[in-house]
Amino acid sequence: MKPKTNYTKSGDFNIAYQVIGDGPVDIIYIPGWVSNIDMMWAEPRLASFLTRLTLFSRLILFDKRGTGLSDRTDEYSTMEERMDDINAVMEATNSDKAFLFSHSEGGSVSLLFSLHHPEKTLGVIGFGIFAKRRYSEDYPWAPTDEEREVSNTLIEENWAHGSLDELRDLVPSLAHDNGFMDWLASYLRSGASPKAALILHKQCTLIDVTDILSSIRVPTLLLFRKGDIEILVEEGRYISERIPNSKLVEFEGKDHLFWTGDTFPILAEIEEFVTGIRPVRDEFQNISRQGRKSQIDIESVMSENFLFNLKVEEFAKLCGRSLSSFKRDFKDKFNTTPSRWIKSKRLEHAKKLLVESDLNINQVCYDSGFINSSHFIKSFKERYKLPPHQYRSNTLQRP
């Protein structure tokens, strides 16, 4: 079941976090490029993986500034600010020490945090992480500037409607599972607006922790799939050779996502690293998320998530219901259909943005959960009798 979302302050930013489980040791998950801690629980494989960690830990999740449920920013976040976010979440959850479980881009800030705060870091667990994201002769696995520019263009042109074919390269084992790929595209869109995604992607190019690796002293577990083409296993070998107290484990498979494919070896390595005890595969139980109708309140879930570009089926998953049960319970609660309610709430939010912000019409469209500006403008005019730009102009001219 999706845990309660809370907020804490990191400087001027509100950082969203969740806590699940009550194990004897803390694990803080440091996500990659973008994340949305609510949407994580809508994907059964990811929810199952996270739940499995709570059998031997207290798991803490958060969205870094600029992503997911946390406050957005129009500027690059420094590594120091990202470390501040981790510190803020640890303070809010009364976590004195924790293992940092990081994925992809989250690895660099985890390693840096362990160097600056060894007294708070029990160990670093990195799955498919990297030391830098810009090509150089001594680090030839990172993309070139030209390759990054191609990726930047693809994000600008395709983010809104989710036509990012390269997403399939992240998870070859599920590349032909359209349901999963739809969720993955929705997850990324719910994690960042097109502008935010581009800022974060460009910012990633600036990351370089190669100079600090030899200074890290906390235990470090590096987990890599040999066929991952997003972050190459050679990068794991590079990091492992330079961190004194590190262990590199290479798995068969091609998926860059840790919760897809054969997850038992990954979870077994993590559990052994944290507890000293390795589980036996025959006794391993893959716990699936089981949402109970009485435990998940539709109104709360919908109010927290209506701005995200999700399908009705995905809202049903977030509410722990089958599609038919969700529609029936929704009608009983709101006396309308989910689609009409969502559209109405998004238009109300768009109206507020038009009056209270200086976002352009396209930005208002995307930030309100719409993916097509023409459809947004038409819907807004039908509801408020004026197109968005005219509504803004008329409202602001009033005394």
Please write the tens of the pLDDT for every residue from 94-103: 999 999 999 9
> How much is the average pLDDT of 252-264?
95
Over residues 124-160, the pLDDT tens digits come to 999 999 999 999 999 999 999 998 888 888 877 777 5
Task: Count CB-CB contacts under 10 A for residue 52.
Answer: 23
**Distance between the two ends of the chain, CA-based, in angstroms?**
49
What is the rounded CA–CA span in Å between residue 362 and residue 237?
A: 44
Mean pLDDT of 60-80: 89
Determine the pLDDT at residue 231.
95
6-283 CATH fold: Rossmann fold (3.40.50)
**The predicted structure's pLDDT at residue 108:** 95
Sign of the torsion angle spanned by Cα atoms 307, 308, 314, 317: negative
Residues carrying CATH 3.40.50.1820, the chain: 6-283
∠ CA 250-244-135 to the nearest 5 degrees?
65
| Residue 165 pLDDT class (50, 70, 90 cuts) | low
Under the banding of pLDDT at 50, 70 and 90, the label for residue 289 is very low
CATH of region 298-397: 1.10.10.60
The closest of 5, 59, 32 to 133, measured between CA atoms, is 32
pLDDT in tens, 344-358: 999 999 999 999 888
Opening angle at CA 33, ends 84 and 264, nearest 5? 100
**Tokens of residue 387, six digits:** 């197109």
Residue ranges of the chain assigned to CATH 1.10.10.60: 298-397
Mean of the per-residue pLDDT values of the chain: 88
pLDDT for 161: 57
Take residue 168 and report the two structure tokens written for it: 């399939």
